[in-house]
Amino acid sequence: MKKYLIFIFFYALAFEGFAQESADPVLNSNNYKKSLTRNKKITLIAPAALVSLGLITMLDTDGDEFFLNNFEVREERNENFINFSNQLDDYLQHIPSATAFILSLSGVKGKHDLPNQLALYLKSELMMLSIVYSLKYTIGEARPDTGQKNSFPSGHTAQAFTAATFISKEYGYKSIWISIGAYTVATTVGVFRMLNNRHWVSDILVGAGIGMLSTELVFRTHKNRWGKRNDLKRVNVDPFSSFGSQGVSLTYKF
């Protein structure tokens, strides 16, 4: 019974994720500013909860303080899914972001145009990767299968939730099913990482939180400058040759 409770718990977190995006107000709403302020607070709840749960789960080594415990979850996995082996998570992690760009290239308008979408996604990826790999090689958590000390947090899960949050923020206001599908795919990636015995449950929870938080912070701080004609005039790309070396210089006038 506990194994089913674990899966219900994971997918309940996915529903929390897309619910926060489906609450995004219509852009022409009379109460837009008030709703936007409220939703900015709401959108931080899910990643904060995921990171907190993951840290508690990792620190609770004896299982007495929390209902989730790394070793208990791994024991359930070994008892019920010992022969599970599936590499689908390697591909699923990129499905939400690929879908977003396919929609954009097909003429389906999101909240931003394609140049801004590319800028938003690349910045989200850079932030997520910098956080994930800093933690991996600072904390040195051993993987449950190989013992290699780069388990915490799960990079696959962080990637999947970065992509899911990206498409949800760009297209989730058009249909709640876009957000549902994106976060369900991302959650499946996390579940598969656990079933494949590649990660502890705490790795997955924190990875999911980092992915969501990275995209959320980038969307909040993005200034919509890319693709604007006035801003493109400020960008200069010039070749150079000096002291036997050649290259290209990129400058931007603020």
pLDDT of residue 236: 53
Q: Taking the CA of residue 99 as centre, how many other CA atoms within 13 Å lie in the half-sphere pointing to its CB?
A: 23
How crowded is residue 231: how many other Cβ atoms within 10 Å of its Cβ?
Answer: 14
Cα–Cα distance, 164 to 122 (Å, whole number): 14
CB 9 within 8 A of CB 204: no
Q: Split the chain (254 residues) into runs of 10 and give each run's mean pLDDT.
A: 52 53 46 50 81 87 67 89 94 95 94 93 96 95 94 96 95 90 93 95 95 94 64 49 53 52
pLDDT of residue 39: 57
φ, ψ at 88 (rounded to 5°): -60, -30
CB 29 within 8 A of CB 195: no
Cα–Cα distance, 203 to 195 (Å, whole number): 13
Residue in 195, 178, 168, 177 with CA at minimum distance from that of residue 111: 168
Q: Give the burial string for 85-105 (b: 16+ CB within 10 Å, else e).
A: eeeebeebbebbbebbbebbe
pTM: 0.79
E runs forming strands in the chain = 235-242, 245-252
Residue in 218, 214, 105, 76 with CA at minimum distance from that of residue 158: 214
pLDDT of residue 16: 53
pLDDT of residue 231: 46
- Which pair of tokens denotes residue 167? 């498409």
